[in-house]
A and B are shown apart, each in its own frame.
Chain A
Amino acid sequence: MQLRRNRMVAAGPRSARSRGVRVALAGVTCGALVAAGVAASGPALAARKISSVPLIVYSAQGYDQAMVKAFQNATGILTELDTNSTGPLLAQIQASKDNPHWGLLWVDGQTAFAELDDEHMLVRGFEPKVDWNGLGKEVLPADGSFVPTGITLMAAVAYTSKVVKDPPTSWSTLLSSKWKGDIGMNTPTQSGPTYPFIAGMMNYLGGVTKGKQFFEKLKANGLIIHTTNGPTLAALASGQIKLALVQSSAAIGARKTDPNLRVKYLSPLTMLPSNIGIDSKVTKTEIAEAKQFAEFVLSKTGQTVMKAGDPTGDSLYYPVVEGVSARPELPSLSSIKVQHTDPYTWGPREASVNAWFVSNITK
């Protein structure tokens, strides 16, 4: 104890000096951090100062990073990507309605686009000069306010062959007691593709009321609501549920990690196009750049990028232009009936249907 005290005394001047060093070190560290922070966000800061107008892409697509890179390389247009889930993107767009900062929006589902169109937030009358295939023609909007880029389906039934030997064959069989407590799906408030599925079922069954009855019966049969594709498939894998009603691309992608996973298409399936919509309130330059982007996506090069960018996820789509084939993992659509729900009809119903779903089915 005495020793220690002595040592401390002896160390007096030195420790004062080393404290100075410490303070200096701390200062340098802080400075470096701030500098690094500025550097890390360099493009974002610099963006507003560059003379050429950058294109800001709001996207929820798995291949968007690859696409933005390819587009920038091909055209030299500075492109900035805000990749996010659909929900936050739309929330941002809506909150910044009076002073928008996005150039184009690229997400799944058409209802949101229809609503944005109704509020005159999208550039109308734009249709890229491409050779649409049958699917593409079916989902093309009449007023050219957005551009379909590919199609996934809602909802594919995913199951494990180890557990389920005879999968359901029609939507109505899901209501049988055989599947009591075994079916899971996403909630529309968290998962973008889920409202189109609900709308599709209502459309198929003959109206909102009939559709609600179907989901109420599903619920009575022990339907379990998860948040999004990922957690629903996780519940399937862990055995909590036996059938997962998820987006086709998610179901097929999941086969990579679970070879026993099988996907069953029940008729009819609702088409869920991914689309590009262009902000009507940005500069002409940016609008032109956005149009160029949409055209690039649908070009041969663009489609190659789209098919390779997220091979176990969003790249598992059905193309909308002639001459481009789907990835080999995707089953053929020839024997399956697919339907398209009109976004201008079903878009306005989204809020009330979702609210009903949250109050009555999720609860």
Chain B
Amino acid sequence: MTVTRPVTGLPAGAPAGPEVAPVHPPPRPVRGRHRVSASRLAGAARAVRFGLWGLVALCILAPCACFLVLSVSPRLFDQGPQWFTLTYLKTIFTGTTGVAVLNSLWVSASAAAMGIAIGLPIAWLANRTTMPGRRFVSIGMWLVLLLPSWLPGIGWERLVVKDGVLTRFGLGSTFVTHAIMGPFGVVLLMGLRCVPFAYLTITASLAGLGQEFEDAARVHGASRAGALRLVLPILAPAIWSALAIGFAESISTFGVAYTLAYQSHFSLATYQLYAAIGNFPASFPAAAAIGLVLVVSVALPLTMQARALRGRSYAVLSARTRQAVRRQLTTKGAILASGCVALFYVIALGAPAVGAVTGSLLTDFGASDHITFVNYSGVFHIPGVSGPIVRSLVYGCVTASVTVIAGFMVARLLSRRRTRATALLDFLLLATVALPGVVFAAGYIFAYNLPFLSRIGIDIYQTVWLLLIGYIASSLPTNARVLVGPVSQVQPSLHDAARAHGAGALRAWLSGVLPAVSRPVVMAWLFTFCGIFLELPISQLLYAPGSPPLSVAINLNIAGYHFGLGLAQAVMSVGIALALVCIVLTLYRLLAPKGWRRIGSTVRG
């Protein structure tokens, strides 16, 4: 080796080595051409922002508002004689409806809390310890999330009812039956559904929570538990966000209200809302009054969130976060941790499986142990059954693609600086999460089937367009909220850096921003797809005659004469959805550049 390597003299300063380089000011456009393009860009950005607001207003707010206004002014849409009345609002606070509303409130709050209580430890175990099987935790969470909400309800019912599956295995007890077929069971079911929301939000947040916060606590005298107590509050934004979305999702869930809660004579607001619409003549004003309560109730978690986080900052400061070290679990600890997590999955996924199996594989719903595939072979013999499946696949794909793009942009809007407008947008989006799908659907009919619209040639009711808009609008709020986390982690500098190095706007986005969010975007796409693939209330009211989506076909069977067949169809549909999830994830693994996957990934080692 020669000695001609560059060397540094002592007085000259620091030795050669990776050191903090001088901070360069961001490249400033100096030439006129650049200034023009910059102002044009700003104009375009403003236009996009207005466009987004317009989209949100037209597709989400207007229909919801049209529906909700019925609660005080039925005459407005010819649904009653009064121009203004408080009758319907009063019913919310009295009688069965009042009880149902109250039930919904405390059940949803408990479910959201339960979601955190289970989701937080699992997120911690999966991301911060060497728990065996941690790689499967995320996939499992997605499974829980993708199940149609009514399937667990049916499953539990089949398990615990008199002469149900548990009884047949000699495990039945009236205590369990009463516990599950009542408020406890309802909270349990809704809570299990909140777990994935908590898990996903907290996992994303844990990724930014470097090891040093814990280390600092330990060296300054905190025990392991003390350090945890100190560090957990840093996750407060994630926890509150998960609570809020868990609450909103729970309060709008119809699946549980319709199955378990209903069977156990435990009335929930959504059930009352559906009953008001399902009656003939349907009382839209009464349903609107309940919808209004649901919307307002979302203010509850949001206010609590705002109070809890007010004046504090949780921004994780350092860009140079030390990645957390997984805690080495002892054999005993590992067994215990894996066991608990496995138990969660057995409960969350096992019960629906029982429901699906007993319902579709046993002709007599489990009265005997005779397994039959007659329902499944039946599925293939129904004429024209493939049409709805293909149609719903396409609807799901289109909706998911559009929603993810729009959701991404809305999320950007939300994650930028906090103004009154964005705070309002945040509330409105969460409020719409709390609205059951049927409210959207009915709202769309009111808003987009106005006679004057038909007169000026806008006639989209009962066309596929309104259905798609309904799908998109109903999935956008959840989507945007789920994407806010990952999007806010994208530093503008990534984009600017790409631009500064000569990339065009699109290429800059593709190379600078997309990689950082590709994984959450793919997940959001799948989540939306699965939601729409089996979506019922909007499909029922808005589908274009002649083109029924899958869920309408399934529902006709389940509600009508062909319960087993319908369940078999449902099980197969869930199977199709899961297969598609696997295909997309595999494609992502194969096609996406390695770095993309790495960036969004929060599970290491």
Contacts and interface: CB of A to CB of B under 8 A. Distances in A.
In their complex, do chains A and B touch, with some C-beta pair under 8 Å?
yes
A250 interface: yes
B506 to A, nearest CB: 10
B9 interface: no
A92 B544 contact: no
Given A85-B555, A363-B265, A101 B561 contact: no
B463 A94 contact: no
B556 A239 contact: no
Interface stretch (B141-149, B184-192, B315-323, B446-454): B446-454
Given A95-B445, A238-B365, A313 B562 contact: yes
Interface string A6-33: 0010000001000100110100001001
Contacts of A33: 394, 397-398, 401
B78 interface: yes
B583 to A, nearest CB: 12
Contact of A234 (B359, B374, B442, B560): B359
A256 to B, nearest CB: 10
A238 B364 contact: yes
A111 B280 contact: yes
A359 interface: yes
Interface residues of B, number: 83
Interface in B553-592: 555-564, 566, 591-592
Given A95-B284, A101-B449, A363-B265, A240 B275 contact: no
B442 A95 contact: yes
Given A33-B394, A228-B559, A363-B265, A44 B547 contact: yes
B281 A94 contact: yes
A62 B203 CA distance: 48
Say what secondary structure dominates the interface of chain B.
helix
Nearest to A316: B561
A257 B564 contact: yes
A80 B358 CA distance: 36
A314 B278 contact: no
Given A33-B401, A189-B279, A95 B365 contact: no
Nearest to B438: A91
A201 B585 CA distance: 57
A226 B556 CA distance: 16
Contact of A249 (B463, B558, B561): B561
A48 B543 CA distance: 15
Interface in A329-363: 350-351, 354-355, 358-359, 362-363
A351 B465 CA distance: 33
A200 to B, nearest CB: 16
Interface in A221-257: 225-231, 233-235, 237-240, 249-250, 253-254, 257
Interface in B385-414: 387, 390-391, 394-395, 397-398, 401
**Chain B CB within 10 Å — which of A45, A65, A230 has the most?**
A230
A23 B510 contact: yes
Given A85-B556, A240-B161, A230 B394 contact: no
B267 interface: yes
9 contacts: A22-B591, A60-B556, A95-B449, A98-B77, A98-B451, A231-B558, A350-B279, A351-B280, A355-B279
Interface of A: 8, 15, 19, 22-23, 25, 30, 33-34, 36-38, 40-41, 43-45, 47-48, 56-58, 60, 62, 65, 80-88, 90-92, 94-99, 101, 111-112, 115, 181, 188-191, 195, 225-231, 233-235, 237-240, 249-250, 253-254, 257-258, 310, 312-314, 350-351, 354-355, 358-359, 362-363
Task: Give the top 6 A-B pairs by smallest Cβ distance, nearest first.
Answer: A44-B544, A313-B561, A41-B464, A230-B563, A239-B163, A80-B545
